[in-house]
C-alpha cells in the first residue's frame, strides 16, 4: 500500500478531511469487501500521482460507523470527494483508475 494513502477514523476525520486545504478523496471500505480490495491499487497510484494536489484517505466503515452513518454510506466501496469541507462528488461501487482520477480532477 502507498504511504500517501492515509487511514482516518471518526476521531480525526474532520481534521484530515473537512479542514484540508486540498481536495480529499475518501474511500469508505471494509477488509471483507472484495470490490474495495480491487480498487485499492488504483487508489495507491492516484495518491502518488496527485501528491501535493489532492489527498487520498481511507475510512474503515466497520471501525468508524459514526462517520459512515454521517455520510449515508450504505454500500461500499463508496468514494466521496471533499473540497472545502463539502462533498463535491460521489461514486458508489468499484470503478477504474480513469473514473477515480476524473472525480478528483473535477474538484481541482
Q: How far apart are CA 18 and CA 35, in angstroms?
A: 26
**The cell 468514494 sits on which residue?**
79
Pairing relation of β-strands 5-7 and 55-60?
parallel
Q: How far apart are CA 66 and CA 15, in angstroms?
A: 15
Active site residues: 33, 36
Peptide bond into 77 cis (omega under 30): yes
Q: How far apart are CA 48 and CA 23, in angstroms?
A: 14
Amino acid at each position: 500500500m502507498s504511504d500517501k494513502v492515509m487511514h482516518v477514523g471518526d476521531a480525526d476525520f474532520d481534521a484530515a478531511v473537512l479542514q484540508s486545504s486540498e481536495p480529499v478523496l475518501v474511500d469508505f471500505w471494509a477488509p471483507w469487501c472484495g470490490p474495495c480490495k480491487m480498487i485499492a491499487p488504483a487508489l495507491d497510484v492516484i495518491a502518488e500521482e496527485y501528491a501535493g494536489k489532492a489527498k487520498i484517505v481511507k475510512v474503515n466503515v466497520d471501525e468508524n460507523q459514526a462517520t459512515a452513518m454521517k455520510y449515508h454510506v450504505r454500500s461500499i466501496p463508496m468514494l466521496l470527494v471533499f473540497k472545502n469541507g463539502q462533498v463535491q462528488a460521489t461514486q458508489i461501487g468499484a470503478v477504474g483508475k480513469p473514473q477515480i482520477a476524473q472525480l478528483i480532477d473535477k474538484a481541482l
